[in-house]
Structure 1
Amino acid sequence: MIAACRNTCDIHSSIDHFNHSLGVLKIFTYTKRQFLTDVFAEALRIAGQGNKVLIAQLMKGGINQGQDHPSYLLENLHWIRCNSITCSSHKEINEPQRAATLELWEYVKSAILNRTYELVVLDELGLSIDLEIIQEVEVLSLVM
């Protein structure tokens, strides 16, 4: 299952479900830039049931984490932020932040295609598309 948290929306929170060969795709949208507690609670629940879960915060950094230094919550929940020394703003991004987001995106794509996790949560995917770091067509080709 892939859960993509868009975090940019004009109206209200919404959830869309799509069937996919890799599992179920859920897209959560929200009007504010924050990590939805419902998404986090579902990730914890699924990990607590013994399934491998990845939470990838594509635009958040600041804690020297990156894919080489994930945090482990529970035995099966891996939480990764991009390997940037700062958190990206919603309006501008510098080249090291862009490179860190792309590096994490490559890791996430590989994890999805290799079915490494039963649930993949992509936080701020929409923002990374809006800032033209990740191309929407690339995301669509991955999930379609």
Structure 2
Amino acid sequence: MTASLPLAPVTPAPVLRLVAQQEGLLQIHTAPFRGSFGSVLSQALRTAGLGSRVLVSQLLKGGVDQGLESSLWLCGRLQWLRPGVPYCISEPAASQSEELTAQSLAAQSLAAVQQVWAYSRERLLSGAVDLLVLDELGLAVELGYLDKAEVLATLERRPVHLDVIVTGPAMAPELMAMADQVTKLRRGL
């Protein structure tokens, strides 16, 4: 008769579980020049096409006098928002101009950028979107249109599922430190 060896206890394989809600990323696309928006817009369009809710806020890109009331909708899920001014913004918010016209344009620019930010901030904090693109956010802060402390506090309080992409040539070190992913574009070597 042969002796039978005792069988080793079978331990069940760990159960794989799908995560119900993915953790969102804070991504930064930066370059010493303006021009990182194209690749980010294609990502936003792809995301909207796959069924996610997307808000693209171009904080300093006017030129089409769009504003909140005339924002564009693409793919039925992507809202594209620009300041309601008929020009692109490139001057500091606190420009020390003596001309009344220049002062009123600066005030109009400041109000338009802050309107876009307020709407974007509300959508971010409420979790009403799955992806938020903040084009030229760092430059809007550097030029004095947005308060850096408020922007950082808002991004820290974003819902866990929400992806945020920030683009532009100027990024505060505190913002760079918060990022999960940083993409730096460069021209030539």
Q: Any idea what SS the aligned residue of 2:56 has?
A: strand
Equivalent in the alignment of 1:111? 123
| Alignment equivalent of 1:131, drawn from 138, 143, 150 | 143
Equivalent in the alignment of 1:15? none
Q: Any idea what SS the aligned residue of 2:25 has?
A: strand
CA drift of 1:136 comes to 1.1
1:22–1:115 CA contact under 8 A, matched in 2:
no
Q: Any idea what SS the aligned residue of 1:23 has?
A: coil
TM-score by length of 1: 0.79
Greater relative contact order (Cα < 8 A, sep 6+): 2
Report the aligned-residue RMSD.
1.7
Q: Any idea what SS the aligned residue of 1:79 has?
A: strand
2:92–2:144 CA contact under 8 A, matched in 1:
no
1:141 aligns with 2:142: no
CA drift of 1:119 comes to 0.4
Percent identity between the two aligned chains: 36
| Distance in 1 (alpha carbons) for counterparts of 2:23 and 2:114 | 22
| Distance in 2 (alpha carbons) for counterparts of 1:59 and 1:35 | 14
* One-letter amino acid of the structure 2 residue matched with residue 59 of structure 1: L
Q: 1:1-144 to 2 correspondence within 5 Å?
A: 23-89=24-90, 91-93=91-93, 94-144=106-156
| Distance in 1 (alpha carbons) for counterparts of 2:136 and 2:66 | 17
Q: Which has the higher strand share?
A: 1
* One-letter amino acid of the structure 2 residue matched with residue 128 of structure 1: A
Q: Any idea what SS the aligned residue of 2:69 has?
A: coil
Equivalent in the alignment of 2:17? none
Q: Where does structure 1 lack aligned partners over 5 or more consecutive residues?
A: 1-20
Deviations 1:30-62 (A, max 9, x none): 121234222111101100101111110001112
CA drift of 1:98 comes to 0.9
Deviations 1:59-88 (A, max 9, x none): 111212111111112111110101112111
TM-score by length of 2: 0.61
2:59–2:135 CA contact under 8 A, matched in 1:
yes
Aligned residues: 123
* One-letter amino acid of the structure 2 residue matched with residue 24 of structure 1: L
| Distance in 1 (alpha carbons) for counterparts of 2:23 and 2:79 | 19
Q: Which of the two has higher C-alpha Rg?
A: 2
| Distance in 2 (alpha carbons) for counterparts of 1:65 and 1:119 | 21
Distance 1:22 1:83, change over 3 A: farther
| Distance in 1 (alpha carbons) for counterparts of 2:65 and 2:40 | 24
After TM superposition, the runs of 4+ consecutive aligned structure 1 residues lying more than 3 A away are none
Q: Any idea what SS the aligned residue of 1:78 has?
A: strand
